[in-house]
Amino acid sequence: MNGHRTAAVALTVCTTLLISSQAAAPSAWADRTSRGGAGSEVKGGASGRVITAQTRVRTSVHGSGTDHASVTGSPSPVGVAWTPPACWYEPAFSPKEIKSTVKAWRVFGANAPLVGGVGYVISAALEHRYKDGHPYKNYNLSKQGEGMFWASVVNPNRQDDPEATSCDRQPFWVDEGQTPAEPMAASPEILAQYAYDELPVPGTEIKMAPRARSTVNLPTWVWLDKGRFKKISVTATLPGTGLSATTTAEPESLHIDPGTPDATRFPASGGCAIRDGGGIGEPYARGRAETAPPCGVTYLHSTAANEAYALRATLTWKIRWSSSTGEGGGLPSGSFGATRRIPVQEIQSVNR
């Protein structure tokens, strides 16, 4: 027992040294077992003393909302302290892969300064787990093709998130077709949340009249063409599992922040709803210079020379998900916006 504790302590110390020295894990992630399709090589590494893997989740985008957008980005959750998961567990290693990984650790760093012998200590601790029956015997080689070792993976969009290291279990065995008793194991909902991070919603490129310069006490019309802001979806699929989820974002409303309290918004809340048939606000038409727009702003004071108000236009997207298992539901609404510089002049009339 004391020997096992000593090995565990040494493993933690040595892997910490490896990370602080920026030494790479051994390259031994091969021999992927085909699971109903073309095999693919798994990529892995180490986080602390935990064997990790690179996610195999694949995403695809559907919809034409971003066809003509010059800027796209992921929506930010509105009104809730929520983010997509920073890590989860998914099928990663076959028994042969776990064996080759442990063996690769044994010779790693043998001739390197500072880290010589570290690989041997790490390998001994891993052999205790995967070879010597604590809890796996001989790397589960007798079950090759009957399941996989599930390993921790990090959301590629959240590698710097403190929660990215919270999935700290060593790879664990799951029989083919079984669902692991692990809250952060890959599931349709986790795939849907990851797809949320992959949504390429278009930048809020509003149209305005007047386009170049607003005038004190005369309304500035704001609108969005329906063709530029359509429903968009991302499907996240975990190959070999039959699991996939589709997350869909649909434009819901536009919020206008004039960039100064000395302004009147239309409507007064600053929230412009989607019109019947799509689109937000209404394009300006000649002869309506003094008419209150369905969506827009009237500035009450001019800006100084070479200065401008920072008008912020933020589009809110309603987000829902569905999956290959029939599960689905809502996710937090997301927002994505852009800022326009609006110089304001003070004259008595304006030509549009």
Size of the chain, expressed as the number of residues it contains = 352
CA-to-CA distance for 259 and 276, rounded, in angstroms?
A: 29
Contacts of 135 (CB under 8 A, 6+ apart): 129
CA-to-CA distance for 56 and 283, rounded, in angstroms?
A: 45
Res. 35: pLDDT tops 50: no
The token pair at 347 is 């004259």
The 3-state DSSP class for residue 186 equals coil
Q: What is the pLDDT of residue 105?
A: 79
pLDDT per residue over 36-50, tens digit each?
A: 233 344 444 555 568
Residue 327 per-residue DSSP state: -
109 versus 245: the higher-pLDDT residue is 245
CA-to-CA distance for 165 and 168, rounded, in angstroms?
A: 6
**Beta carbons within 10 angstroms of residue 20's beta carbon:** 9
Element spanning 312, H or E: strand 309-323
User: What pairs with residue 232 in β-bridges?
Assistant: 249
pLDDT per residue over 283-319, tens digit each?
A: 999 989 888 999 999 999 999 999 999 999 999 999 9
pLDDT per residue over 64-92, tens digit each?
A: 655 555 678 889 999 999 999 999 999 99
Res. 249: pLDDT tops 90: yes
The amino acid present at 131, given as its one-letter code, is K
User: What pairs with residue 87 in β-bridges?
Assistant: 154
The arithmetic mean of pLDDT across residues 250-268, rounded, is 95
The arithmetic mean of pLDDT across residues 249-272, rounded, is 95
27 versus 262: the higher-pLDDT residue is 262
Q: What is the pLDDT of residue 9?
A: 40
| pTM for the full predicted model | 0.81
Q: Any idea which of 11-20, 30-39, 235-244, 321-330 has the lowest mean pLDDT?
A: 30-39
The arithmetic mean of pLDDT across residues 118-142, rounded, is 91
CA-to-CA distance for 136 and 129, rounded, in angstroms?
A: 6
